[in-house]
Amino acid sequence: MALPNINPSFERVAPAIVAQAARFQPAILADVAGRRGALHGRIRALRPNMKVAGTAFTVEVRPGDNLMIHAALALAQPGDVLVIDGKGDQTSALMGTIMMNAARQRGLAGVVIDGAVRDSLELEEMGFPVFSVGTNPNGPTKEVGGRLGHPVCVGGVTVYPGDYVCGDADGVVVVERDKIESLLAAAEHKEAAEAKRIAQIQEGNTQAPWLLASLVTAGVLKQGETL
């Protein structure tokens, strides 16, 4: 029987591609993806050392209600990241230690939630990657329907089920499922170029090579002028 609000079967980024992409910082991937895909900065790692990489299992809930997150925990696959549209609500927590333990036990890679969580000290001890807009000790209701496996808007970014999701202390980046593999070579080149530039800076060459030309283009300097 088809369930229009629940779509558990969708194509995901292949595990081998996830493993390759996970080598790169979210900032690198955002840059090579055209400086897009980064969720709003309100969604941050619960602790700075938390990192996540995996495939999006999308969840839409009503503010303050986590019924559909419980359903998602029953359907998500190992390696999935729950990406939850909680409408940015911070009046109650949508997940805590019990649900996070269930997520880890099922092999999920982490949780990204546009909403609040609780039991933060216990979650820190668990070391399970959690990204949220903050914490609140209030518990949620479990009464209102929502959707699973459909596109959601989280932190201002449209996330489709199966997209690649990664996060670290800088925040969370989402890359389209059919695009991530094509960005890996560019990410590797970007990472190498940045390492080379840092080495040059450490040798004393601190001025950006593009700076003068950009200042001329912006009208700050005339052609031939220097700083």
Task: Look at residue 143 and tell me if it is in a domain.
Answer: yes
The residue range of the domain holding 162 is: 15-184
The binding site for substrate comprises 96-99, 118
Output the CA torsion sign for 53, 59, 65, 68: negative
The binding site for Mg(2+) comprises 119
Distances (CA, A) of 135 to 54, 111, 132, 202: 23, 14, 8, 40
Q: Are 24 and 51 in contact (CB under 8 A)?
A: no
- CA-nearest of 104, 100, 88, 86 to 141 is 86
Digit-coded pLDDT (tens) for 71-114: 999 999 999 999 999 999 999 999 999 999 999 999 999 999 99
Residue 2 in this model has a pLDDT that exceeds 70: no
**Quick one: pLDDT at residue 3?**
73
Length of the chain measured in residues: 227
Task: Look at residue 206 and tell me if it is in a domain.
Answer: no
The binding site comprises 96-99, 118-119
Q: Where residue 63 sits, what CATH number does that domain have?
A: 3.50.30.40
What is d(CA 116, CA 42) in angstroms, rounded to the nearest whole number?
11
Task: Look at residue 218 and tell me if it is in a domain.
Answer: no
Predicted confidence band of residue 68 (pLDDT cuts 50, 70, 90): very high
Beta bridge partners of 154: 157
What is d(CA 179, CA 138) in angstroms, rounded to the nearest whole number?
39
Q: Give the HSE-up count for residue 129: Cα atoms under 13 Å, Cβ half-sphere.
A: 26
Task: Look at residue 226 and tell me if it is in a domain.
Answer: no
**Quick one: pLDDT at residue 186?**
97
Digit-coded pLDDT (tens) for 124-157: 999 999 999 999 999 999 999 999 999 999 999 9
Task: Look at residue 174 and tell me if it is in a domain.
Answer: yes
Task: Look at residue 24 and tell me if it is in a domain.
Answer: yes
Give the total number of structural domains in the chain: 1
Q: Encode 26-45: b = buried (16+ Cβ within 10 Å), e = exposed.
A: bbbbbbbbeeebbbeeebbb
Residue 1 in this model has a pLDDT that exceeds 70: no
Task: Look at residue 224 and tell me if it is in a domain.
Answer: no
Task: Look at residue 191 and tell me if it is in a domain.
Answer: no
User: 7-11, 66-70, 209-213 — which one is most confidently predicted on average?
Assistant: 66-70
What is the pTM (predicted TM-score) of this model? 0.94
